[in-house]
Amino acid sequence: MTSKRVALVTGCSDGGIGFYVCQKLAERDFVVYATSRSLSSTEGLQHPNIKRLELDVRNDTQVSSVVSTVIAESGQIDLLINNAGVISAGPLVEWTAEQAKDVYDTNVFSIIRVCGAVVPHMAKRKTGTIVNMGSVVGEIPTPWTGIYDSSKAAVRSLTDTLFMECKPLNIRVMLAAPGTIKSKLADKQDDFELVSGSLYTSFFHNIRQRMEASRDNKTMSTDVFAGKLVAQALKPHPPRYFSIGGYVSTYRLLSWLPRGFGLWMFWRMFSQPRK
């Protein structure tokens, strides 16, 4: 057991948002349980307050086991950050349903799994904070990332519901919706190719352009984003919705305009022929 506050963070691979969030929390004297599919991916987390655990958020048994371990060792979970996620690109009609399910399993269903295991422990103590990682593309989608964007729209809806349903339990719920952030997630799409005989061969450069959007000069550093996220999450009354990063101001403006305008603008942005 510990007298310190305890955090459980998913998706903590080196260099990503979860990695830096763990460091920020450890610096604030939290006991931090940093999880990832493989321990080797979190070797950079060496702060004495950080404990590394293996967790595949797609696996019910592993989720239950990790939460039980945290409770057995530390007696509580004060902060849960559902950060695990995968990015995906490609024309919507060229995805199979099984491929889409894999994305949703990590980005959406994992939140249901982990919250289902953690909330009862928070409810016993009548305290706790949950942060779910969404995205601005969950508000208005862009072409070429439809599966990912729709998964983040689902995260927003789930988080709004959780916000309401956790009120009687005195558990605070926050949605983090970053704009473009320098994250290693985008690196995993560098070998993207269209399917053989694709209907969208002439748009391949546009798809690459969309995938590179998180690397332009408007992108916020992962370290800075993590620091601001932690500061908001640890407030006595965290905001229900928190959004910073590249292009956030654009999304804020578009939210006040007819939705069709935003869809037209993003299509125009990511459909221009190569010069």
Q: Do the beta carbons of residue 209 and residue 271 sit within 8 Å?
A: no
93-116 confidence digits (pLDDT tens): 999 999 999 999 999 999 999 999
Q: What is the mean pLDDT of the chain?
A: 95
247-268 confidence digits (pLDDT tens): 999 999 999 999 999 999 999 9
| Nearest CA among 11, 234, 16, 17 for reference residue 110 | 11
Mean pLDDT of the region 226-232: 98
Q: Is 260 exposed, middle or buried (0-12, 13-18, 19+ CB in 10 A)?
A: exposed
Homologous superfamily, domain 6-269: NAD(P)-binding Rossmann-like Domain (3.40.50.720)
Both tokens of 115, joined, read 């919250």
Strands across the sheet containing 31-36: 50-54, 31-36, 6-9, 79-82, 129-133, 172-176, 241-242
Q: Is 121 exposed, middle or buried (0-12, 13-18, 19+ CB in 10 A)?
A: middle
pLDDT at 216: 76
The domain locations on the chain are 6-269
174-198 confidence digits (pLDDT tens): 999 999 998 665 566 667 899 999 9
